[in-house]
Structure 1
Amino acid sequence: MKQDRVIRRMIRRDTHSSRSIPSVVAASLLLITFLWLALESVLWLLKDQPLLASPAQLRKWLLDLPANTIPAGMTAAGVGLGILGLLIIGIAVGKGRRPRRALASDRTATVVDDDVIAAAVSSKARLAAGLAPGQVTTTVGGRSVRVQVRPTSGVPLNLESIKTALDGELAAYALDRPVKHSVRVLNEGAVGQ
């Protein structure tokens, strides 16, 4: 039971991106701001010269800000701060998935890039159709695998054999998230392949 939990945790770490960089940046900015405000307050209490502005000067500036700023400027600043806030919230709660998938395994945590799966699926479809390299391209998305086939001009293509081969290949991987596949045959063929 404990090993299953460890394996799931390892897979999650490999398939999801870390939020540490945005967290460190946000915490550093807040820390610098609070330290500056604390230093300014201490300097003001000691009746010393402020670094940038004393708390009394900051208070006066904030109270005079609406009268000294045009409404469009205040609106633009508010919209900018709102967009920044939405961006930070989006980073915090976004899914953060990497283009990787876990394969079924009883003993180990096996994670494969989507590009590797796309290359293997392209190779399998190419062999099933009897095509040359470069005539099959595959794109792996969140829940789908899209295969694009460029047939050889004048040679009939057996679409069912390609779909059967793809079903078998994707079933053999036993991916952690089910995917649907689609095969698209291009109208223009390859000459002399």
Structure 2
Amino acid sequence: MSSAPYRRIIRRETHSPRTTAVIIVVILLILGLAYAGTEIILAMLTRPALLLAPTDAGTSLAKLPTLQPVAGVIAAGVVLAILGLILIVLALTPGRLAKHEMVWDDRAVVVDNGVIAAAIANRICEQTGLSRDQVTVSVTHRTVQADLRPGGRLTLDEAAIRSVMDTELAGYQLTPKVSTRVRVDKRERVS
């Protein structure tokens, strides 16, 4: 599926927008600027400041490098740097939704990871004879992991189960490709 409209649609459906982060930053900026504007207007009208007069704020900023304890100033700087780094990472990295693209003829198909997990779990149950509550499958962006709790003295071949998972996933032709993992709980259950 190489057509541009399908690519755009699939990208929009599998990646989350950064709208929430942008809205939070914009609201904080608006509140900060509104406060600064209010303080400036109060200072121009020779009224008392709400919290800190602009001249006092300027003086405090000028004295910041010489304040004691230095550790407090450094800690505040580190916190601000971490917040800045988080905002940069949010701005540059794409957010991912819990969905995968599936190849199906010439159509754009987006499948939720929960649907993939349920289908894989059902296939494992069919092949192993385990009940549905003994099989838990989780799907992430790059891996599909099956956790099996057979209980009793039943032994399961992890390689055979992985083969079942790989065969099922090959039929889906997911993009991006996923790897499979199997974990079998070998503890016996007492009912």
CA contact (8 A) 1:136 1:148 kept: yes
Q: CA deviation at 1:19?
A: 0.6
Q: How many residues align?
A: 190
Change (3 A) 1:191 1:122: farther
* TM-score, normalised relative to structure 1: 0.78
Q: Is structure 2 residue 180 aligned with structure 1 residue 181?
A: yes
1:126-178 per-residue CA deviation (whole Å, 9 max, x = no partner) reads 10122222222212223121222333644564656534432221011110111
Q: CA deviation at 1:107?
A: 4.7
CA–CA separation in structure 2 for the residues paired with 1:156 and 1:69: 66
Q: How does 1:57-136 map to 2 (within 5 A)?
A: 57-67=56-66, 69-136=68-135
Indicate the larger mover: 154-163 or 171-180.
154-163
Q: In structure 2, give the amino acid aligned to 1:132.
A: S
Q: In structure 1, give the amino acid aligned to 2:146.
A: V
Secondary structure of 2:95 counterpart? coil
CA contact (8 A) 2:99 2:111 kept: yes
CA contact (8 A) 1:135 1:190 kept: no
Q: CA deviation at 1:80?
A: 1.7
Q: CA deviation at 1:106?
A: 4.2
Aligned residue in 2 for 1:9: 8
The one of 47, 50, 74 aligned to 1:49: 47
CA contact (8 A) 1:131 1:152 kept: no
Secondary structure of 1:181 counterpart? strand
Secondary structure of 1:57 counterpart? helix
CA–CA separation in structure 2 for the residues paired with 1:75 and 1:27: 26
CA contact (8 A) 1:129 1:161 kept: no
* TM-score, normalised relative to structure 2: 0.79
Q: In structure 1, give the amino acid aligned to 2:69.
A: I
Aligned residue in 1 for 2:31: 32
Q: In structure 2, give the amino acid aligned to 1:129.
A: T
CA–CA separation in structure 2 for the residues paired with 1:183 and 1:159: 6
Q: Which runs of 5+ in 1 are unaligned?
A: none
CA contact (8 A) 1:40 1:51 kept: yes
Change (3 A) 1:38 1:153: closer
Q: How does 1:136-147 map to 2 (within 5 A)?
A: 136-147=135-146
Q: In structure 1, give the amino acid aligned to 2:169.
A: L
CA contact (8 A) 2:100 2:141 kept: no
> CA RMSD of the aligned region, Å?
3.0
CA contact (8 A) 2:6 2:108 kept: yes
Q: In structure 1, give the amino acid aligned to 2:125.
A: R
